[in-house]
């Protein structure tokens, strides 16, 4: 694969990642947000494969495969299972209105692309345009975590943030070493498991929501 | 002189084609919806029969309506049909025309004018549903029009012109090499197209239930030939929207001369593009429920943010 083609494909995939991120933000239902983050991870896997094909880095093939299997299939499946099990209301409960988060997200994207100009030396040739997209994904993922009440949607935000970290790593280096990537993905899987079990247990024992925990007094 | 004449003749031919084919597109979407719902559905020519029937009927007017009310359908139809002059359907001129007939900004403005006239007509008749429909339609318009402008600008920046025909001709060589801003603009445009054509999840074209209708609510007081004009205007607006999407994002197969071969290719490409987009409308309409009206701003807000980002990414 030529460098030019790879650059263009990464560019397009960056656009798709941004769009899925907006879908997560605009999703009115928990399921939609989960499907959107699964699609985002799938696009990320494709981006990893494109970079692997362009650079001939074998580690990247493995990482792309793990990304698709773990983050696009396994974790969304787990989240959907938990949603079905706890039978929570399907609506996302935002702390601030959705259109306000969308506005903030637009500001974040503009800011990230604006800052991109001053980050010249860090960027690689192939994935240079990916840097602001990665930064955007990280920040909007945090925004999702901060602005949603449901623990499961906060998990979706965490996944999106993690996708952003992966994409940023691809932008500033030719992908991180395999051992680090596997460590990061294991971290996320473990986090998801703990969170999922916690949600199930909390739900079954005290029937409380994350927001209710705020009113606890010691 | 020669080129100006051919330009005007081509524009007239394209406008005639768009107006003549508009009811057929509506018929196709309805047929597709019927098939997806396991019904046989009416013939694809049904919209033509409906129009012919309405043209034969007399007009009934509300006592409270002013004389302006009678002019509204004609003005709406005129404003909508005028937009067809600004779109490349079969021909895409390589050079700017000597007498430009209008660009994308005028196109969006004319669509907004038609929307405004329709809303004023609905308010003028004094019916409660008309007023409700008008207020809702203007709310939707408030979100759709700026997003439409942003999307058009995003594409126009890359081509260096706002004239849609010229824009399509300049982008034709790189038609399928979309960059990230193009993708975001396309997504925004598809969301906006659903709203502009008055389809689920924003509006339901089949209903006359008072709580759900947007566009239909404004038509309740119209009857006979007036209603036919507005129905035709709605269909033309739908085809104009689809053609705009095709011209901005799929500018392939457009003819540059008048040879029969390239014209046949252009006609085939136009039919294929419109069919694909009409299929998209029908599929979305069959697989989604109509949004509660207060959720519509969320949906359109997504389109607005996408359009904004498409422009921001292009400029930054």
ipTM field: 0.83
* pLDDT of A211: 62
B53 vs A: CB within 8 A: no
Instruction: Please give, rounded to a whole number of angstroms, the shortest distance from the CA of B179 to a CA of chain A.
Output: 5
pTM: 0.89
* pLDDT of B178: 77
Q: Which chain A residues touch B179 with a CB distance below 8 Å?
A: 8, 11-12, 15
Contact B71, B225 (CB under 8 A): no
Q: Which of A8, A18, A26 sits opposite B309 (nearest CB)?
A: A18
B308 vs A: CB within 8 A: yes
B309 vs A: CB within 8 A: yes
Contact B275, B28 (CB under 8 A): yes
pLDDT value at B1 more than 80: no
Chain mean pLDDT for chain B = 89
What DSSP assignment string belongs to B157-203? HHHT---HHHHHHHHGGGTT---HHHHHHHHHHHHHHHHHTT-TTT-
pLDDT value at A122 more than 70: no
Q: Which residue has the higher pLDDT, A116 or B86?
A: B86
Q: Which chain B residues touch A16 with a CB distance below 8 Å?
A: 183
Please compute the mean of the pLDDT values over residues B237-250 and round it to a whole number.
93
pLDDT value at A86 more than 80: no
Which of A43-52, A61-70, A105-114, A122-131 has the weakest average pLDDT? Answer: A122-131
B302 to A26: CB separation less than 8 angstroms, yes or no: yes
- In tens, the pLDDT along B109-153 reads 999 999 999 999 999 988 888 888 899 999 999 999 999 999 999
B179 to A15: CB separation less than 8 angstroms, yes or no: yes
B292 vs A: CB within 8 A: no
* pLDDT of A94: 83
Which of A14-28, B6-20, B160-174 has the weakest average pLDDT? Answer: B160-174
The A-side interface with B (CB below 8 A) comprises 8, 11-12, 14-16, 18-19, 22-23, 26, 28, 98-99, 102-103, 105-106, 109-110, 113-114, 116, 129, 133
Only one residue has tokens 């790189």, namely B174
- In tens, the pLDDT along A15-68 reads 899 999 999 988 878 888 999 999 999 999 999 898 888 888 888 888 889 889
| CA angle at B271 for the pair B267 and B276, rounded to the nearest 5° | 150
Chain mean pLDDT for chain A = 83
User: Closest residue of B to A105, CA-based?
Assistant: B305
- In tens, the pLDDT along A130-174 reads 788 888 999 999 999 888 887 788 888 989 998 998 888 887 777
* pLDDT of B281: 92
* pLDDT of A218: 59
Q: Which of B178, B181, B297 sits opposite A99 (nearest CB)?
A: B297
CB atoms near residue A154 (< 10 Å): 18
Contact A7, A124 (CB under 8 A): no
Contact B78, B237 (CB under 8 A): no
* pLDDT of B180: 83
Instruction: Please give, rounded to a whole number of angstroms, the shortest distance from the CA of A179 to a CA of chain B.
Output: 31
* pLDDT of A11: 85
* Reported confidence tier of residue B198, pLDDT bands at 50, 70, 90: confident
Q: Pick from B25, B313, B287, B31: which is nearest to B157 by CA?
A: B313
* pLDDT of A123: 66
Percent of chain B with pLDDT over 90: 52
pLDDT value at A89 more than 60: yes
CA distance B73 to A22: 39
A14 to B178: CB separation less than 8 angstroms, yes or no: no
CB atoms near residue A119 (< 10 Å): 15
Q: Which chain A residues touch B312 with a CB distance below 8 Å?
A: 106, 109-110, 113
Q: Which residues 180-209 of B are in CB contact (within 8 Å) with A?
A: 180-184, 187
* pLDDT of B30: 92
Q: Which chain A residues touch B183 with a CB distance below 8 Å?
A: 12, 15-16, 19
* pLDDT of A125: 61
* Reported confidence tier of residue A92, pLDDT bands at 50, 70, 90: confident
């Amino acid at each position: 694969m030529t460098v030019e083609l790879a650059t263009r494909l990464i560019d397009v995939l960056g656009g798709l990642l941004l769009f899925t991120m907006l879908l997560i933000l605009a999703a009115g239902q928990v399921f939609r947000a989960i499907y959107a983050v699964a699609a985002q991870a799938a696009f990320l896997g494709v981006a990893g494969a494109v970079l692997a094909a362009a650079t001939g880095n074998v580690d990247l093939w493995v990482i792309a495969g793990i990304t698709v299997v773990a983050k696009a299939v396994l974790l969304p499946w787990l989240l959907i299972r938990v949603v079905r099990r706890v039978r929570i209301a399907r609506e996302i409960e935002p702390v601030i209105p959705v259109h306000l988060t969308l506005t903030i997200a637009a500001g974040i994207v503009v800011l990230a692309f604006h800052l991109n100009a001053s980050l010249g030396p860090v960027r690689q040739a192939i994935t240079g345009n990916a840097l602001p997209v990665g930064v955007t994904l990280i920040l909007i993922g945090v925004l999702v975590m901060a602005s949603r009440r449901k623990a499961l949607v906060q998990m979706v935000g965490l996944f999106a943030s993690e996708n952003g970290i992966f994409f940023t790593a691809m932008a500033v280096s030719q992908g991180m070493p395999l051992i680090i990537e596997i460590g990061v993905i294991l971290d996320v899987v473990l986090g998801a498991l703990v969170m999922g079990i916690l949600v199930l247990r909390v739900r079954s024992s005290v029937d409380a929501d994350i927001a209710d925990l705020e009113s606890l007094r010691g | 002189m020669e080129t100006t004449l051919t330009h005007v003749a081509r524009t007239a031919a394209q406008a005639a084609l768009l107006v003549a084919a508009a009811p057929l597109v509506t018929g196709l979407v309805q047929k597709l919806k019927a098939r997806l719902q396991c019904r046989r559905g009416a013939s694809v020519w049904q919209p033509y029969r409906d129009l012919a029937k309405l043209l034969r009927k007399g007009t009934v007017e509300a006592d409270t309506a002013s004389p302006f009310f009678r002019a509204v359908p004609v003005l709406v139809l005129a404003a909508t049909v005028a937009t067809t002059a600004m779109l490349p359907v079969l021909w895409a001129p390589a050079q700017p025309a000597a007498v430009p007939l209008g660009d994308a900004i005028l196109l969006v403005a004319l669509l907004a004018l038609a929307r405004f006239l329709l809303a004023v007509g609905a308010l003028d008749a004094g019916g409660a549903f008309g007023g409700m429909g008008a207020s809702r339609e203007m709310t939707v318009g408030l979100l759709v029009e700026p997003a439409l402008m942003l999307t058009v600008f995003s594409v126009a920046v890359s081509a260096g012109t706002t004239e849609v025909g010229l824009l399509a001709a300049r982008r034709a060589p790189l038609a399928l090499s979309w960059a990230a801003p193009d993708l975001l603009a396309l997504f925004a445009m598809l969301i906006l197209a659903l709203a502009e054509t008055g389809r689920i999840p924003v509006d339901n074209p089949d209903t006359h239930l008072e709580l759900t209708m947007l566009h239909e609510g404004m038509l309740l007081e119209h009857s006979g030939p007036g209603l036919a004009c507005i129905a035709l205007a709605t269909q033309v607006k739908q085809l104009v929207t689809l053609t705009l999407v095709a011209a901005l994002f799929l500018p392939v197969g457009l003819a540059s001369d008048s040879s029969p071969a390239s014209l046949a290719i252009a006609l085939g490409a136009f039919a294929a593009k419109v069919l694909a987009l009409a299929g998209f409308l029908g599929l979305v309409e069959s697989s989604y429920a109509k949004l509660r009206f207060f959720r519509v701003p969320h949906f359109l807000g997504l389109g607005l943010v996408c359009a904004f980002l498409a422009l921001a990414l292009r400029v930054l």
